[in-house]
Structure 1
């Protein structure tokens, strides 16, 4: 009993540490986006390019956070497993129900550690939790910059001129930007549907993670 109690405390500690790391990468994304917004809107003549370049950093932070989430999910799943099969039965019935072999599943997870969710699933979950709003603000701010600076937009042709970056035409920049937004949105929606489908297919009451 004492060993299990210390094991649970250790898993809670690791889960808390990785939860903090998730918050850190989100904070980095927010800060870098804030810097890009400050530079871009500092004057009507300022270039919207920082809002384009910050997208690269946001993608990097998203990938890093998704990787960290996969680690966090392991510790969180183990904590929840112990709460569900060890702590709750003791408090409720005083019986661990070892005949259900939940302890074997936990032991196997320690003997053969692996991620409980895929990278695809992790990316989708982080977009839905945090990055949807970050990407939305970036996109709206970029379009807003093109529309209002250096003066109110008067035609579609002028929009293309303002969106152009050096030798790259404006229509290509806007097309890439649209693909950028649609891609992340699609990943978020499709991964959520995959999560729901997986939950419906799950028949194993001992499924972990």
Structure 2
């Protein structure tokens, strides 16, 4: 029996370009796309798990702070402000992870729209140049979602409700448990920082969150689920 492996030359042009033959053979090409889809789906799932892990940290932190802050009348109100800072840090981490996650998700959606959907119902590919788009992205992977949009998406899904709960709890702490109920602003003071400055900083921070959430109306992330009534995407 002859040993075909002895004829294999990895430096020859024909061997280097062997994958190009799949472009002209339908069965080989579809088989290759199936493997590519499973690979990209695995990457997407792994990064989705990392996003969920950060969300879990933020939820646990919020619940812990609320429990501690209202477990006694003498708990300092600024602990809730520290919690807002920490949750915002988690927001930044998750927004960065979301941008990476969207790289793989966009590839998965490109295959689903143009290969699998068309196989189930041959109504034409969504993008006529989808093979070129996918090839370019394989050669040079790029982040497709701007930072502002990624922060906006994670705010709308998780972090704006969490931060709203913390802001509301902070206000309740100042009004209900304050030693000076008639002057909430002065009760918001932290050490040498006057209460007026603290309240103003929290107000600017919270308004800024809403501004980031509603500002980028033209979405670039690909493949998010949505309902007919929503102008934003739902994940």
TM over 0.5: yes
Structure-2 separation of matches of 1:35 and 1:140 = 15
Contact 1:163-1:170 within 8 A present in 2 as well:
yes
> Displacement, 1:100?
2.4
Alignment partner for residue 40 of structure 1, among 59, 69, 72? Answer: 69
Contact 1:40-1:49 within 8 A present in 2 as well:
no
Residue 204 (structure 1) aligns with: none
Alignment partner for residue 124 of structure 1, among 127, 149, 152? Answer: 152
Alignment deviations for residues 4-35 of structure 1 (CA, whole Å, 9 cap, x no partner) = 11110111111111111111111111111112
Q: Which runs of 5+ in 2 are unaligned?
A: 1-29, 221-235
Residue 187 (structure 1) aligns with: 212
Where in structure 1 do 4 or more consecutive aligned residues deviate above 3 Å? none
Q: Which runs of 5+ in 1 are unaligned?
A: 197-209
Task: State the SS of the aligned residue for 2:219.
Answer: helix
Alignment deviations for residues 26-64 of structure 1 (CA, whole Å, 9 cap, x no partner) = 111111111211221111111111101111111110010
Aligned pair in 2 of structure 1 residues 172, 52: CA closer, same or farther (>3 Å)?
A: same
Structure-1 separation of matches of 2:62 and 2:46 = 25
List aligned pairs for 1:1-209, cutoff 5 A. Answer: 1-93=30-122, 100-150=128-178, 153=181, 155=182, 158-191=183-216, 193-195=217-219
Contact 2:47-2:100 within 8 A present in 1 as well:
yes
Contact 2:178-2:184 within 8 A present in 1 as well:
no
Residue 27 (structure 2) aligns with: none
> Displacement, 1:151?
5.8
Task: State the SS of the aligned residue for 2:218.
Answer: helix
* Greater RCO, 1 or 2 (C-alpha within 8 Å, sep 6+): 1
TM-score by length of 1: 0.85
Structure-1 separation of matches of 2:158 and 2:56 = 10
Q: Which moved more, 1:73-82 or 1:158-167?
A: 158-167
Contact 2:180-2:187 within 8 A present in 1 as well:
no
Aligned pair in 2 of structure 1 residues 194, 83: CA closer, same or farther (>3 Å)?
A: closer
Task: State the SS of the aligned residue for 1:63.
Answer: helix
Contact 2:69-2:76 within 8 A present in 1 as well:
yes
The structure number with the bigger radius of gyration is: 2
